[in-house]
Chain A
Amino acid sequence: MLIIKTENLEKVYRTEEVQTKALNHVSLTVEQGEFVAIMGPSGCGKSTLLNLLGLLDEPDGGSLQLLGTETSRYSERQRAELRKRSLGFVFQSFNLIDELTVFENVELPLRYLGVGAAERRQRVEQVLEKMQLLHRRNHFPLQLSGGQQQRVAVARAVVNAPPLLLADEPTGNLDSASGHDVLGLLTELNEAGTTVLMVTHSEHDARYARRVIRLLDGQVVLENSRSQF
């Protein structure tokens, strides 16, 4: 089953005088269960692509199908709905909410899904245990190391068991040991059935993926599977 299918996806950034085409007719597909890395130099449009795939931004043209439905004309409300049910995010800068504890951060997607308190507790504890963070449940993000914070972010991304996990430079702010740790987690999740799409500019990280899509100046220039590295 196709999880992602884009056709001629376009994104243009406009200021008063300059118009920059961040994505130029990008067409790609991602199958269920894949682990795909999107690579390219700074400014090639890989984060823009991830934002569009994660429905965090709106495309200016082309089509974007997620889980078999066309989303390019979705309203804000529909996009929020799809995000909370089917997508998980891991960001380079962790993006944890500083005012919330580890437990509360991880619990947040379940709150938005309207899951009851008892079930929330059970599911959050389960995922924190798996990430070996249960003893940190009442800590605030700023009390944790970078690696720990990113593990919290991964826990939050998967607590509602989304079919698709989007990771934007997940190891960018981590030392190599912690980075390895996080990539291990993503691999594990992928092996358990979650489709993972990761933006990275690290060749090392990209090796964890089974397929690499390379972008340059907003266009797909190369696709290859791991066997072709």
Chain B
Amino acid sequence: MLPYPLLLIYRNFKRFKSTFFINLIGLSTGLAGALLVYLWISDERSFDRYHALDGRLYQVMENRRTAAGIATQTGTVPLLAEALRREMPEIEFVATTTPVPFFPAFTLAAGGQHLTAVAKYADPAFFQLFSYPLLVGTPATVLRDKHAIVLSEALAIKLFRSPQNSLGKAVEWQMADRKQTCLVAGVFAGVPRNSSEQFGCVLPFASFKDQMQMSETIKWDDDGPFNTYLALKEGADPAQFQAKLAGLLKTKSAQAQARGRTLFVRPFSAGYLHGTYENGVATGGRIAYVRLFALIAGLILVIASINFMNLFTAKASRRVKEVGIRKALGASRAALVGQYLTESVVMALLALVVAVGLVQLVLPQFSALTGKPLALRWEPQLVGASLALALGTGLLAGSYPAFYLSGFQPAAVLKGKLPTRAGDVWTRQGLVVLQFTLSVLFIVAVVVVNAQLAFVQRQPLGYDKAHVLRFDTGGKAARQQAAFLAEVKQLPGVVQASSVLGGFLGGRYVAEMSWRVKRLPVATMLVNYDLVETMGLHLVAGRSFAPQFRADSAAIIVNQALVAGLGMPDPVGQRLDGARIVGVVRDFHYESLHEKIKPLLLRLDPQINTVLVKLQPNAEQATIARLQQLYAAYNPGFTLDYTFLDADYQAQYVAERRVAVLARYFAGLAILISALGLLGLAAFTAERRRKEIGIRKALGASELSIVWLLTSSLTWLVVIAIALALPLSYLLMQRWLEGFAYRVAWQWWYFAAAGMGALLIAWLTVSVQAWRAARRNPVLSLRAE
């Protein structure tokens, strides 16, 4: 036997089966969407928070004044950690490290095995600052020795079968033409997935200092790409520390003061979500997507709740009599409100159960889509969040019906007739307008995001990304780079080959350069011979690098943006930053289309070992096999890990692609739920106007005219929604598009498609109900009166 309130709910659900199912579908899909977004958001928020010192852990950042405003960077001067340790007693641990994207992959060799791994150099305090539990070795000492290497558990197992077995063993690493032998001093458990940096081994920063022949004392004027992290002592006041740090550089360096360089710290775990700075102020980053999706999930729930409200009140004419009876028997308004709220909350909890099932069903696809292995783990937080979502939705959805129904005078409703109140009609219609406004907004978003992504594909990039293979060389192939590349170029199926530091796409090292009176930040790309030819860059003046010109080691090729920026009338032959310009290439997008093409120079460096190979189309597989053979001949035991440049290009728009797919899902959800709601409202209208329809039909109205009678009023609501949504969607999507330096132009049909789409869906939905009402025998309608 069910408890009394549940019994009532059960009987009501049984009585209004179609309403029950429409509500269940609406609320459960809405809740499922919200749950998925919750899982995604909690994963995003978990990034970099697993360190024991989180809360006291900071990254040192630098602001500097430039012509374009204050620039913020994570790079700090070399040896900053040592200086800070000496000068700031508030610091418990501090370490300088090389940033992970700094080097191409290292090759590790031991016992005849070769593996590639991402490496970083770090000061001894690294394992004290960050919680990467050591399976072998102690955090305080593991990086003390210059010849130490700390491996991840996975690498240790691959090279030495077990972490314990690897202690003290020799590993030879190689990167480009450098190599060194070191001894395993420790093994760490590995980097968790929710870390913003992934690496496989850590080397002592002291060793890096030796290799680079860096000064033993800090040079405050230097620029540095290095990252500095610190943990404050317990009880130290971060604000006071911040103030002290801000004044540090100008007391140390006149140049720093002149260039407006200042240091500050940001909480380490904030870097992942709040990584973007504009003019020295944190302006967001990935958090924007977290907020966007939270907002979208909220809106979907609002749409689902509106459905519940509309369907509930639509059936109110059949429930008001009950309200009258209960009130006549002495039920207080509060008791009735309680009863209806209980009903909506139970409904929402039921929907939650269905939603959990739905989430389980789509979680594999959703995980693939977001690139995160998400799972429903029923920890207290998730249980709490799910219940709160359901409870909140239930209360939101139930509030209007509860107060609406319980507010009638019993005498007015005891006869079972619903009094007409202008305000209620407006409320209901307003809710439908709101639903459709949101739906149209979602449709426009889908159209615009997809149009921009198509634009990204279509946009001429200034280079040819098709059939270009990219890989990092190691071993002998790296040491004898020129010979290796020459042999690659000879392979059948290879059109051209070259190499570039780090990769062809992505951010570059930027330094200010001056020519005559002008000064400009200029990005540098270190390249090998034949890069212009391999990438299909277009020379507009001068020539490409070539081995026959010995002076090319001090030559550069610049892009048109640089020429225009410095206002060079005749660039070829001019000198810039101590090098002679030998060629000018047409501007090409070496960064994503989010960024404007900025001044760039190409400098020759035949040693760099990220190789780019242009293949002939249609014979890629055979050519790759030949490449692998050649590589194996140079480096027995090495594997060739390659990617296609096209994939690297697409990877720049992963976030946008996710938004596109998610927007599509959510737009579908919003429309589905809104259409269900409209179905409810159409039923309500048909019921209210039953007598009118009966009379009209008795007087000879055609079924078609009745259908029009019922659809026209709802059509107007949708038209109003479209009118509201279009300017709003323009404003919102324009803001999104502004994140791209190169963006698609607005087309009138984006709006027309969204508006017509919404209208069509609305018509289809409403006409089903309208036909049913129109075909009803008028005698029945009139007798019911």
The verdict on A80 contacting B327 (CB below 8 Å), with A95-B414, A99-B11, A99-B15 known, is yes
Let me know if B322 is at the binding interface, CB within 8 A: yes
Q: Which residues of B contact A113 (CB under 8 A)?
A: 330
- Say whether A77 contacts B333, CB under 8 Å: yes
Q: With the chains together, A80 CA to B205 CA distance in Å?
A: 80
Interface stretch (choices B387-395, B404-412, B590-598)? B404-412
A156 within 8 A of B: yes
The answer on a CB contact under 8 Å between A109 and B409 is no
A48, B409: Cα distance in complex, Å: 13
- Report which of A56, A83, A98, A112 forms a contact with B409, defined as CB distance below 8 A: A56
Q: Which residues of B contact A (CB under 8 A)?
A: 8, 11-12, 15, 321-322, 324-333, 335, 409-412, 414-415
Residue pairs across A and B with CB atoms within 8 Å: the count is: 69
Compute how far the CA of A87 lies from the CA of B331 in the bound complex, rounded to whole angstroms: 12
Quick check: B11 and A156 within 8 Å, CB to CB?
A: no
| CB-based nearest B residue for A156 | B329
Given A89-B328, A91-B414, does the pair A80, B12 have CB atoms closer than 8 Å?
no
Out of B8, B333, B414, B415, name the residue touching A80 (CB < 8 Å): B333
CB-contacts of A34-66 with B (<8 A): 48, 51, 54, 56-58
In the complex, which of the residues B11, B12, B325, B330 contacts A95, with contact meaning CB atoms closer than 8 Å? B325
User: Are B321's CB and A95's CB within 8 A?
Assistant: yes
- Asked whether A112 lies within 8 Å of B410 as measured between CB atoms, the reply is no
CB of A89 to closest CB in B, whole Å: 5
Contact A84 B329 (CB under 8 A): yes
A87-108 CB mask vs B (1 if < 8 Å, else 0) is 1010101011111100000001
In contact, B324 and A112 (Cβ under 8 angstroms): no
The smallest C-beta distance from B331 to any residue of chain A, in angstroms, reads 5
On whether the beta carbons of B324 and A95 are closer than 8 Å, the reply is: yes
Q: Shortest CB–CB separation between residue A172 and chain B, in angstroms?
A: 12
Partner of A76, one of B8, B325, B333, B414: B333
Contact status A56-B330, CB under 8 Å:
no
Cβ 8 A contact of B330, one of A48, A84, A98? A84
26 A-B residue pairs with CB within 8 Å: A48-B411, A51-B411, A56-B328, A76-B332, A76-B333, A80-B327, A80-B330, A80-B331, A83-B328, A84-B331, A85-B330, A89-B329, A93-B415, A95-B321, A95-B324, A95-B328, A97-B326, A99-B11, A99-B322, A100-B8, A108-B329, A109-B329, A112-B326, A112-B332, A112-B335, A156-B329
Q: Which residues of A contact B326 (CB under 8 A)?
A: 97, 108, 112
Who on chain B is nearest to A86 by CB?
B330
Contact A56 B414 (CB under 8 A): yes
Which chain A residues border B330 with CB–CB below 8 Å? Answer: 80-81, 83-85, 87, 109, 112-113
Bound: A121/B331 CA distance, A: 19
Contacts of A100 in B (CB 8 A): 8, 11
The answer to whether A57 and B329 touch across the interface, beta carbons within 8 angstroms, is: no
Q: Which residues of A contact B11 (CB under 8 A)?
A: 99-100
Which residues of chain A (107-132) have a CB below 8 Å from chain B?
108-109, 112-113
With both chains docked as a complex, state the minimum distance between the C-beta of A117 and any C-beta of chain B, in angstroms: 10
CA distance A146 to B86 in the complex (A): 96
When distances are taken between beta carbons in the complex, the residues of chain B under 8 Å from A48 are 411
On chain A, the residues within 8 Å of B324 by CB distance are: 56, 95
Contact A56 B410 (CB under 8 A): yes
5 pairs of A and B residues whose beta carbons are closest in the complex:
A84-B330, A57-B411, A51-B411, A56-B411, A99-B11
- Of A77, A89, A95, A108, the most chain B CB neighbours within 10 A belong to A95
Q: Find A99's partner among B12, B331, B410 (CB 8 Å cutoff).
A: B12
Q: Which residue of B lies closest to A99 (CB)?
A: B11
**Residues on the B chain within 8 Å of A76, using CB:** 332-333
Q: Are A99 and B8 in contact, CB atoms less than 8 angstroms apart?
A: yes
Give the residues in chain B near A96, CB-CB below 8 Å: 325
Bound Cα distance from A81 to B15, whole angstroms = 30
Q: How far is the CB of A150 from chain B (nearest CB, A)?
A: 14
Residues of chain B within 8 A of A85, CB atoms compared = 330
CB distance from A122 to the nearest CB of B (A): 18
| A51-B415 Cα distance, complex, nearest whole Å | 12
Q: What's the least CB distance linking A184 to chain B, in Å?
A: 23
Q: Roughly how many angstroms separate A195 CA and B121 CA in the complex, as a whole number?
A: 96
When chains A and B are docked, how far (Å) is the Cα of A54 from the Cα of B414? 13
A60, B708: Cα distance in complex, Å:
42
Docked-complex contact B412 and A57, CB < 8 angstroms: yes
Q: How far is the CB of B303 from chain A (nearest CB, A)?
A: 29
* Set of chain B residues within 8 Å of A51, measured between Cβ atoms: 410-411
Which residues of the other chain, B, contact A91 by a CB distance below 8 angstroms? 414
The residue in chain A whose Cβ has the minimal distance to the Cβ of B333 is: A76
A residues less than 8 Å from B414 (CB atoms): 56, 91, 95
Q: Which B residues lie within 8 Å of A112 (CB)?
A: 326, 329-332, 335
Q: B15: which A residues are within 8 A, CB to CB? A: 98-99
Query: Interface readout for A165-208 with B: 1 if CB under 8 Å, 0 if not?
Result: 00000000000000000000000000000000000000000000
Establish whether residues B333 and A56, one from each chain, have CB atoms under 8 Å apart when the complex forms. no
Most B CB within 10 A of own CB, among A48, A81, A112: A112
| B335 in contact with A54 (CB, 8 Å) | no
Cα–Cα, bound, A54→B409 (Å): 12
Bound CA span A95–B330, Å:
14
B328 touching A54 by the CB < 8 A rule? yes
Say whether A57 contacts B409, CB under 8 Å.
yes
A83 touches B329 (CB 8 A): yes
Measured in the bound complex, the distance between the Cα atoms of B80 and A158 in whole Å is 89
Apart from A100-B11, A112-B335, 9 more pairs, CB < 8 Å: A77-B332, A77-B333, A80-B327, A80-B333, A89-B328, A93-B415, A98-B15, A113-B330, A156-B329
Q: Distance in Å from the Cβ of B149 to the closest Cβ of chain A? A: 75
Q: Which residue of B lies closest to A140 (CB)?
A: B11
- In Å, the complex CA distance between A57 and B419 comes to 14
In the assembled complex, the Cα of A15 lies from the Cα of B409 at a distance in Å of 16
Query: Chain B residues near A81 (CB, 8 Å)?
Result: 330, 332
Once the chains are docked, how many angstroms separate the CA of A39 from the CA of B78? Answer: 103
User: What is the CA–CA distance of A178 and B325 in the complex, to the nearest angstrom?
Assistant: 22
Cα A206 to Cα B12 in complex, Å, equals 39
B412 — nearest CB in chain A belongs to which residue? A57
Q: Mark A207-227, 1 if CB is under 8 A from B, else 0.
A: 000000000000000000000
| Alpha-carbon gap, A98 to B16, bound state (A) | 13
Most chain B CB within 10 A, of A54, A56, A93, A156, is at: A56
Q: How far is the CA of A207 from the CA of B327 in the complex (A)?
A: 31
Point out the residues of chain A lying under 8 angstroms from B8, CB to CB. Answer: 99-100
CB distance from B621 to the nearest CB of A (A): 70
